[in-house]
Amino acid sequence: MKITILSGSQRQNSNSAKVGSFAETYFNTGGAVETFHLKLENHPLPLWDDQISDSQLEEIWKPIHSELSSSDALVVITPEWHGMASPALKNFFLYCDSKCIAHKPALLISVSAGIAGSYPINEMRTSSYKNSRICYIPDHLIIRNASNFCKQYQDPQDQLIKDAVKRFHYSLEVLKVYAEAFTQIRASESIAIDQFPNGL
């Protein structure tokens, strides 16, 4: 099984990337899951438009597309900025065609410096799935007071952080179950992405 972890902050040393690294370490424990951790802070994509040349796509997007195509599931992490998902993450989904992440389950995680964080979950569920055909699972996570969560993750002292870490691990396990089940969906002869590449 291979899972892509997408850290959607373009800010260097972001809490989103730290949360992604926690997920990466969790999946890699025991060697049962291969991971690809894409940090958009280190791999910025040019603003998408339909005039991007084939040579640009070959250089900046094809390696990422290949990793996504070979993945069975995704963890999609976004910071909340002004009540919105990050621009880098929204831009990323403009690059995604239906052939790389279609009918693959994804766990949404929103990261907030304070007590908010719900708006990006709704935004991503509403606007990022249409042509990519990504399938967000019912579970999602909101990491509130993210700096405190990241500081205590390895050795939580606060009961709220302990509970948050347990929920974090639980949701990652749920995603693995979805990843196994969705392989059958993608293998089905009923899936006709070439015939119907875009959603409605």
Q: What confidence tens digit (pLDDT) does each residue in 39-61 have?
A: 999 888 999 888 888 888 888 89
**pTM above threshold 0.85:** yes
Please calculate the CA angle 199-192-137 and round it to the nearest 5 degrees. Answer: 55
How many domains are there within the chain?
A: 1
* pLDDT 10s digits, 111-168: 999 999 999 999 999 999 999 999 999 999 999 999 999 999 999 999 999 999 999 9
Q: What is the CATH number of the domain that holds 115?
A: 3.40.50.360
Range of the domain at 182: 2-47+57-187
Q: Domain for residue 166, yes or no?
A: yes
Give the whole-angstrom CA distance, residue 91 versus residue 73: 20
Helix, strand, coil percentages (3-state) for the chain, rounded to 5, are: 45, 20, 35
**pLDDT at residue 165, as a whole number:** 97
In this prediction, residue 198 has a pLDDT band, given cuts at 50, 70 and 90, of confident
- Quickly count: other Cβ atoms within 10 Å of residue 110's Cβ: 28
Q: Domain for residue 198, yes or no?
A: no
Q: Domain for residue 196, yes or no?
A: no
Residue 180 has pLDDT above 90, yes or no: yes
**pLDDT at residue 59, as a whole number:** 87
Estimate the crossing angle of helix 159-187 against helix 15-28, to 10 degrees.
70
**pLDDT at residue 184, as a whole number:** 93
Share of the chain above pLDDT 90, in %: 80
Q: Domain for residue 26, yes or no?
A: yes
Q: Domain for residue 24, yes or no?
A: yes
Q: Domain for residue 200, yes or no?
A: no
Q: Domain for residue 199, yes or no?
A: no
Q: Domain for residue 176, yes or no?
A: yes
Q: Average the pLDDT over each of 7-11, 50-54, 72-76, 180-184 and give the range with the smallest value.
A: 50-54
